[in-house]
């Protein structure tokens, strides 16, 4: 143990690769990493890294890192922020996806994609930790992997992906407004679009961190649960349900439904900044964020898909 303490003390001055450090019991090592101060400059600050008897590495950001210039979010806030990024308009398309794939293949693909998404989040967590720069983003990871050119390509892909997602959400919301707001009010769709973009989307988009959006995320998840509850109640009140299929009715339809499942758990872009904002960030707590969010979303998806498919059968439209 004395040798372990000496090695930890020496690590402050000359950092060594912690992953290759052999140890029989838990040790704590300190190494320097880049941290943004209040002026946006990078300065070194210690990060506590733990290595257990199995050789697993886990890091903990010091509690002194919590400051107004570096927003932090509690565990429940990170879970709801990630859950809100996963849930989307695709939730309404899952009954159609089950109608195209059948019960058996639909359940297999749904939980399979959920498991793959959880694995990708865990890999991202380990990659960001090994990258060594606090508050690293996709840009930093691409920069370390392939230089400036790859970083710019990844940044462009993230921009177009998020822009397309926001455009799709806006179209859906405007269609809903067009059906609920009486025509006698004289509100045209372009006016609704301008109001929605400037008064709702723009203020939320200008927030510097996800921590400031945790209560909006809770409200958004509650709204999704409300829609799912209505669908489930309608399915239970049906006297006779239409015919459903265990296997895919057609191979073509099954392939057409694959993109719905593929994007159902998409949250990798937002996961990187969300996990950095966690208070008392450790590997175990970050894993709890990913596992909790994927589990909540999989449960909501299962309820929505099974209720919608049971209520409408093959007549459900995507």
pLDDT at 31: 37
47 forms bridges with which residues in the sheet? 31
Pairing of strands 27-36, 42-51: antiparallel
pLDDT for the residue 183: 62
In tens digits, what is the pLDDT along the chain, a chain of 318 residues? 444 444 444 444 444 444 443 333 333 333 333 444 433 333 334 444 444 444 554 444 443 343 334 568 889 999 999 999 898 777 888 999 999 999 999 999 999 999 999 999 999 888 887 776 666 777 888 888 888 898 899 888 888 887 887 777 777 777 766 666 666 565 666 677 777 778 877 777 777 778 888 888 999 899 999 989 998 888 888 766 777 888 888 888 889 889 889 888 988 888 988 888 888 888 899 999 999 999 999 999 999 999 988 888 877 776
Strands (E), the chain: 27-36, 42-51, 57-60
Cα distance between residue 25 and residue 151, in whole Å? 39
Distance CA 196, CA 167 (A): 12
In this structure, are residues 72 and 280 in contact, taking their beta carbons and an 8 Å threshold?
A: no
Q: How many CB atoms lie within 10 A of CB 236?
A: 10
From residue 217, alpha-carbon distances to 19, 45, 118, 159, 229 in Å are 36, 31, 20, 21, 18
């Amino acid at each position: 143990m004395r040798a372990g303490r000496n090695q930890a003390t020496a690590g402050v001055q000359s950092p060594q690769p912690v992953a290759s450090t052999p140890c029989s019991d838990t040790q704590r090592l300190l190494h320097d990493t880049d941290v943004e101060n209040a002026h946006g400059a990078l300065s070194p600050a210690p990060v506590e890294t733990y290595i257990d008897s199995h050789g697993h590495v886990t890091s903990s950001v010091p509690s002194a890192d919590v400051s107004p210039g570096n927003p932090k979010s509690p565990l429940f806030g990170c879970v709801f922020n990630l859950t809100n990024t996963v849930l989307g308009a695709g939730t309404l398309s899952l009954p159609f996806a089950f109608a195209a794939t059948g019960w058996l293949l639909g359940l297999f693909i749904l939980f399979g994609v959920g498991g793959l998404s959880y694995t990708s989040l865990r890999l991202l967590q380990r990659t960001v930790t090994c990258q060594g720069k606090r508050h690293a983003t996709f840009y930093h990871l691409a920069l370390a992997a392939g230089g400036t050119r790859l970083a710019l390509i990844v940044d462009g892909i993230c921009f177009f992906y998020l822009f397309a997602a926001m455009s799709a959400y806006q179209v859906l919301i405007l269609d809903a407004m067009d059906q609920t707001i009486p025509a006698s009010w004289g509100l045209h769709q372009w006016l609704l679009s301008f109001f929605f973009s400037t008064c709702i989307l723009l203020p939320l988009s200008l927030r510097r961190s996800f921590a400031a959006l945790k209560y909006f995320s809770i409200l958004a998840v509650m709204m999704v649960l409300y829609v799912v509850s209505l669908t489930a109640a309608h399915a239970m009140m049906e006297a006779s349900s239409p015919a459903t299929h265990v296997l895919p009715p057609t191979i073509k339809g099954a392939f057409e439904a694959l993109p719905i499942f593929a994007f159902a758990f998409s949250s990798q872009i937002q996961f990187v900044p969300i996990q950095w904002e966690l208070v008392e960030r450790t590997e175990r707590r970050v894993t709890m964020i990913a596992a909790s969010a994927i589990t909540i979303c999989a449960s909501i998806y299962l309820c929505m898909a099974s209720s919608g498919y049971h209520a409408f059968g093959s007549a459900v439209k995507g």
